[in-house]
């Protein structure tokens, strides 16, 4: 009897150990995030955030978002340099990334298959959330003599890559001022190349669509005083009437050393994701970003809020993100 009792005791102990090990392995829980609580496991090992050039706003914010997602979900996430909005939508469609920064207008064109996406409709991408206004900044030097859109005629002007968000913005703003690409000498440069070109005298002005303060423009202003060409109220209103995804904006005095506020227009910046990402993962990603906006050091972090996370989005919202915003805004 004693031997049987001892054997039963040993077997029971072994079963308890095996049960505990199985629970640790399959319970789906890992270490806690900074918000407290346990992080669920996901069937995704790695995420890539497609941003833009290193001197824009997307790239530094992308690095912060990657850190937040990694910390809060346990899924290793990195920010990648890219050609920004239009290229990012195409890259998501091709499976070259899982998350991407994109302008709200470009996301709409892509999912509708219009303008630069004519015949190339993007159908595998949905929205994670809105971020902040992206101001269309027409930059030149303070001593260039260029003070208005009309002064651009015959000048070398960077308009971004063909098919890019910046290119579309440049084309539409020129149009509303009675100009076309034929009236200027368009140059297809990224933000860093644009400001380098202005500094060296190779070009006269550049369209830069990004959240201010934009790194490339700050760098230019550090060596040469910059001037931002204004969009007057009547032109802004005409632009918005034709292209309603624009909004009136203003670059505050003090930005880039400006002595007074400059009227401008903006579109929205947003995050897009692959539709096939798991709902629980996208929910966790949205929560990681919008619950931790106090950890965003960039000036645009002040605009990123859960309560405005669906503002200006004209494409389908991922169910995981929709679940998050429904919870926090209801």
Mean pLDDT of 176-203: 95
- Provide the b/e sequence for 175-211 (b: ≥16 CB within 10 Å): ebbebeeebbebbebbbbbbbbbbeeeebbbbbbbbb
Mean pLDDT of 132-151: 96
At residue 247, does pLDDT exceed 90?
Answer: no
> Which residue in the block uniquely carries the two structure tokens 């006269």?
204
What are 44-100's pLDDT values in tens digits? 999 999 998 888 889 999 999 999 999 999 999 999 999 889 899 999 999 999 999
At residue 36, does pLDDT exceed 60?
Answer: no
CA gap 192, 284 in Å, rounded: 34
Mean pLDDT of 122-145: 96
Question: Can you list the alpha helix ranges (DSSP code H) found in the chain?
Answer: 2-26, 58-73, 85-94, 104-112, 165-176, 191-200, 215-223, 233-242, 279-290, 319-329
At residue 160, does pLDDT exceed 70?
Answer: yes
Contacts of 69 (CB under 8 A, 6+ apart): 47, 75, 77, 285, 288, 289
pLDDT of residue 38: 61
What is the percent of the chain where pLDDT is above 70? 88
Mean pLDDT of 160-172: 86
| Fold that domain 134-267 belongs to in CATH | D-Maltodextrin-Binding Protein; domain 2 (3.40.190)
Confidence class for position 21, pLDDT limits 50, 70, 90: very low
Domain boundaries, the chain: 45-131+269-329, 134-267
Secondary structure element (H or E) that encloses residue 127, with its range: strand 125-141
Evaluate whether 45-131+269-329 and 134-267 have a shared fold: yes
Which pTM does this prediction carry? 0.76
Mean pLDDT of all residues in the chain?
88
* Domain 45-131+269-329 class, CATH top level: alpha beta
Closest CA to 164 of 121, 204, 219, 109: 109
Confidence class for position 2, pLDDT limits 50, 70, 90: very low
The token duo for 287 is 């929560």
DSSP 314: -
């Amino acid at each position: 009897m004693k031997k049987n009792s001892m054997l039963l005791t040993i077997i029971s102990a072994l079963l308890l150990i095996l049960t505990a090990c199985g629970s640790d392995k399959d319970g789906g829980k890992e270490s806690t995030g900074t918000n407290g609580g346990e992080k669920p496991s996901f069937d995704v090992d790695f995420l890539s955030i497609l941003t833009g050039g290193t001197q824009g706003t997307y790239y530094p914010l992308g690095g912060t978002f990657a850190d937040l997602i990694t910390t809060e979900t346990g899924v290793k996430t990195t920010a990648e340099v890219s050609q920004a909005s239009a290229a990012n939508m195409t890259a998501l469609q091709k499976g070259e990334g899982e998350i991407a920064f994109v302008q709200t207008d470009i996301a709409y064109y892509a999912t509708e298959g219009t303008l630069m996406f004519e015949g190339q409709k993007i159908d595998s991408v949905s929205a994670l959330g809105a971020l902040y206004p992206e101001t269309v900044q027409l930059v030149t030097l303070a001593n260039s003599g260029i003070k208005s859109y009309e002064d651009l005629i015959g000048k070398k002007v960077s308009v971004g890559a063909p098919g890019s968000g910046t290119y579309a913005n440049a084309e539409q703003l020129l149009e509303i001022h009675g100009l076309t690409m034929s009236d200027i000498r368009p140059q297809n440069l990224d933000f860093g190349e644009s400001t380098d070109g202005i500094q060296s005298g190779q070009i006269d002005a550049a369209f830069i669509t990004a959240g201010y303060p934009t790194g490339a423009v700050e760098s230019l202003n550090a060596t040469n005083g910059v001037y931002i060409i204004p969009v007057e109220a009547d032109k802004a209103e005409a632009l918005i009437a034709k292209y309603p995804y624009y909004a009136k904006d203003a670059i505050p005095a003090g930005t880039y050393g400006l002595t007074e506020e400059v009227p401008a227009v903006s579109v929205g910046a947003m995050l897009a994701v692959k539709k096939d990402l798991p709902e629980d993962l996208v929910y966790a990603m949205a929560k990681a970003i919008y619950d931790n906006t106090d950890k965003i050091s960039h000036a645009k972090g002040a605009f990123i809020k859960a309560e405005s996370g669906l503002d200006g989005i004209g494409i389908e919202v991922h169910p995981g993100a929709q679940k998050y915003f429904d919870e926090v805004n209801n």
